Amino acid sequence: MQSSPAVIGVDSSTQSTKAVLVDAASGQVLAMGRAAHTVSGDAGARESDPEQWWRALAEAVAGALAGFDARVVTGIAVAGQQHGLVVLDGAGRPLRPALLWNDTRSAPQAAALTDRLGADGWLARTGSVPVASMTAGKWEWLREHEPRTAEAAAAVRLPHDFLTERLGGTAATDPGDASGTCWYNTATGGYDPGLLDLLGLDPARLPAVAPTGATRVGSLTARAARELGLPEGIAVAAGTGDNMAAAVGLGLGGRGLLDHPVVSLGTSGTVFAATRTRPATAALAGFAATDGTYLPLGCTLNCTLAVDKVAALLGLDREDAVPGGEAVLLPYLDGERTPDLPGASGLLTGLRHTTTRQQLLGAAYEGAAFSVLRALDELPRVSGDVPLRLIGGGARGRTWVETVRRLSGRAVVLPRTAELVALGAAALAAGAASGEDAVAVAAAWGGGEGETLPPLERDRAAWDRIAAVLPAYDALERR
């Protein structure tokens, strides 16, 4: 029976909530619970009921606590899917379903915002150029399409903010997740008054920004304690966004590794690194990290789910793939964020009589991996000799791992801990409970350590074949 202090880290993602119970001293994951989410919408719409996230959090925490004494838990933190727009009434109830990060309906609003200040103007302030994913564009979409709802909103939250407030009763966020809104200024470290004026957004509607995601922003309320089966009064951390939490779980940041690249393969594909260099390039989202450093990040909308869809269409198992031969498949099934083509669809070219189904599936892997990996060259201060840390659901798939190795030509580290977002949240909870630096805690836990696979000779032919298709496709989609 666990007797030493433990913490709970929550990963509230697009598809599900996972909660891990972690020994606060060793970082050992003692148990995990999980509950699924429902995402609705078509024609670019992607929405979820925030109340569903709270019910899923309770179910996941119950699963993690099964067989354990809840009295050992000293803190809890939430890492959530970034960018989602949650609007609440005065009682904290959602006025409508949340607009999720992969809802592309706000593309025209994001483009209009970019035109207002120019790409350089946005980069100077937020480190990012508005795209459909960013919260500012979603807020503008709501103002244009549902003005009564926007006017009625007493509070505007990100997904993790919503859950954190339910836990501790305090409206709080952190620099990392806030930096994905496009109304937080990464140069000044706070909300940008000029951008809030541009968006018609009263700062009183927004949560306070805690210094770090490990800051204790409240204590578990009596009501939340009853619903979750946890001790009342335990530490509630500010929490952060999912990518920032994954970085913490890997031990990346000011008290850990800097300038070490990570590729995450999940519903979306991301590449990022913790750095002291504030990024300002349109090719990346210039996020803040949760610990005061920066987290420049490239993100694609279409990754593992898109490849699984291609496998299903071909009647193949996801691992029944071989390199694509002459075929190129760009799996932009839900539009795309990088490149910024929200209305895009998938493209298949290079078919021959000799092309097999297995090669077509391999081409889908290559297209998805290429889209993520090409952002590596944009990361500041990242050496080509530093191994990639490969995380996310795809990191457990043989074909994903081999495709990344073949197209990158880099050594790859496969961290032993699978649930790094939840582990990072647990480190934030430990920091909130103890006052320790969360990145240092996670680094001591060793979450970023694992098997290292040596580099393969880079498949330049496949890389160049895909790269040659993109300019013509980009021009066609932008007409």
Report the chain (479 residues): mean pLDDT per 10 consecutive residues: 88 96 97 96 94 98 96 98 97 98 95 97 96 96 98 98 98 98 97 98 98 98 98 98 96 93 92 91 92 93 94 97 94 85 89 96 97 88 86 94 97 93 98 97 94 96 94 70
Report the C-alpha gap between 406 and 458 in whole angstroms. 5
- DSSP of 18-76: EEEEEETTT--EEEEEEEE---B--TT--EE-HHHHHHHHHHHHHHHHTTS-GGGEEEE
Tokens of 338: 């990088």
d(CA 458, CA 326): 17
Instruction: Please give the model's pTM, rounded to 2 decimal places.
Output: 0.93
CA dihedral (216, 217, 222, 225) positive or negative: negative
**Topology of 6-256 in CATH?**
Nucleotidyltransferase; domain 5 (3.30.420)
Task: Output the pLDDT for position 432.
Answer: 98
End-to-end CA distance of the chain: 64
DSSP one-letter code for 378: G
Domain range annotation of the chain: 6-256
308 catalytic residue (yes or no):
no
| Beta strands 388-391 and 262-265, pairing class | parallel
422-456 CB burial, b ≥16 within 10 A, e <16? bbbbbbbbbbbbbebbbbbbbbbbebbebeebebb
Backbone angles phi, psi at 349, to 5 degrees: -145, 165
Among the options 177, 242, 291, 437, which is catalytic? 242
Specify the DSSP element, H or E, that contains 406: helix 398-408
Query: Which residues make beta-bridge pairs with 396?
Result: none
